[in-house]
Amino acid sequence: MASELNYSHCAVLHNRLLEIGWVGSGKRLEYDSNNDQAEVLHRRNWFEYFGEDAERIRGRLSPSLVAFLERALVVDDHSLHYYVGGLASPDYLWLNHHSGGYSAEASDRYWTLYTATGIASEPDGLVFDQVGNKAVMQTSIFDSPITHNDRQQWFPLEDVLSAWLDMVEVGKVRAVGPDVEVPNEKFDPWIILPYSESQLQETLTAYHGLLDAIESRIPDVARPPSEPQLIPNTSLDTANISPGFVREFLNKAQRPWFQYIAPGLEIPTIDSFCEQPFSGVELNSISETSATPQTIQFPILLFRASDMFRTPPSPHGVDDQTGSYLPFAWPWSGVRTYPAGLYLTDSDRQAMCFEDGARVVLPFGIGASGYARTSDGARFGENKEEKGSLLHRMKDTHADLYQLGYNPFIESHEVRLVQVLHLWHKQIETGAWEVGRDGVLGGIEKWREADSEAGWKGYVVLISW
């Protein structure tokens, strides 16, 4: 369904991002009479910046797109965000969209509005649909079969720009001066951080809110006080937990007195936490170009499934029964089975860009019934590059629960822990998960609800960056 392009609001968001990056890099917004050498922001819109080349294609653009581009600023050698360099030049708009099999009438429908930075091979950018007035991040040209599979969700441009701005405002992405160096990639003036203090505090608030919701529903029994640390520093050392998000979270998260924080998932004891299934695994060469291989953190099992449920053996990271990829199929040796539960695992193992990434691993597969889905609407096990309805091809998978799927705003990564905790809290508040003397009831079998007609909606995280 077509939506209206709120070109005025989109231009405000675009220009706000541009100005934050400009100032964050040490430059000035306006001319400074005391420093005539200062780099100032020349306020030229897209048409003014590209001149005759832009005017030549004005008639191929919708009136609302023209209105946006007449308000959106463009500057030299300055990325708008970590993931996009800026508004595409007139000769780039349709460069990657002529081979899509569109009719002559639809040849101008899809085009690249923002060019991607060098975060992928064969980069493309944010693709815009002039008919539907919606957009989706197509990091690489090879993502096109997914974004055009007739199922992938596209979003209003203001939603995408708002997501990029939110990453800046919470400190996930930050503008810095040219003298700042980072171990991962930098797209001037932007860097991406493994996590920010704001993200850490948001996750702690969500965690403690979940504990309060569970505790308030436990029948009246003698309640010992909560302990101030979920896992103390000495035990984190024993478990070989590197400095970073996980260590900070575990140091500041309280230990509740009840046992189950989710169906069949236990609050870790110090002994069980130190028995990390991946801590003794040898790391092979992750990448010859990895800048900081010594900082790579193995997946950390936080909430273990009771009774030590384990997933099937998978030496190559592929489930032989379903053909689906299991998590943690890294170039490691020595791990053949592992306990089910919630793991904390960075999705970008070289750059450590999402240290708050999480993945729930089940001891059984779900998805074949066709109800379980990721945040982008994809069913578990489907081939996202095929067009049309694929309900008859659903498969059971072990580790797709709560995952975002194809991310329409930025590069794909594992779901953030805070999003999972918020959804668990909602399950408690709505009564979908019941609480007893030991915490959340239901056992590990409760998770099969995620592939049922009645329960699947309670197991899908809202799409986000």
367, 397 contact by CB (below 8 A):
yes
Residue 103 confidence (pLDDT): 47
Convert the pLDDT of each residue in 104-145 to its tens digit. Answer: 455 789 999 999 998 888 899 999 999 999 999 999 999 999
| Confidence (pLDDT) at 2 | 72
Contacts of 408 (CB under 8 A, 6+ apart): 135, 136, 137, 152, 153, 154, 155, 160, 376, 463
Ranges of the chain whose pLDDT falls below 50: 32-33, 100-104, 283-295, 313-336, 348-351
Q: Which amino acid is at 284?
A: N
pLDDT at 355: 93
Amino acid 16: pLDDT: 97
CA 421-426-432 angle, 5° bins: 120
* Per-residue model confidence (pLDDT) at position 353: 86
Residue 16 sits at φ, ψ, to 5 deg, of -65, -45
Query: Measured between alpha carbons, how far is 5 from 67 in angstroms, rounded to an integer?
Result: 10
Q: Supply the pLDDT for residue 278.
A: 82
Give 380-414 pLDDT, tens digit per residue: 989 898 887 665 678 899 999 999 999 999 999 99
Predicted TM-score (pTM) of this structure = 0.88
